[in-house]
Amino acid sequence: PLIGELVAEILELHGYETQRVETGTDALRVVSEWHPQAVVLDLMLPDIDGFEVCRQIRSAGSPLDPGILMLTGM
């Protein structure tokens, strides 16, 4: 959570709007509702792992397919 807060703060300082969530389920919901240009994703989430979240985002076939950056301590 601390690293997520730090990444969000740095992005916001550079003018980006951010949404931060703690679970893969919440990430999928936010991506489907908010349609971000990019997603910074951890592999180790408490419910759905980051690989599965990435697969589900990609399989949704959104015309606004976000770039995905895997940032993890794994």
CA separation for the pair 60, 53 (Å, rounded): 11
For the cut 90, the answer to whether the pLDDT of residue 73 exceeds it is: no
This prediction has a pTM of: 0.86
Pick 7 or 63 by higher pLDDT.
7
What would the two tokens of residue 48 be?
């759905």
Name residues whose C-beta falls within 8 Å of residue 7's C-beta, 6 or more positions apart in sequence: 40, 71
Name residues whose C-beta falls within 8 Å of residue 65's C-beta, 6 or more positions apart in sequence.
57, 58
The pLDDT, as a whole number, for residue 33 is: 92
Q: For 13-68, what is each residue's pLDDT tens digit?
A: 999 999 999 999 999 999 999 999 999 999 999 999 999 999 999 998 766 789 99
What pLDDT is attached to residue 17?
A: 96
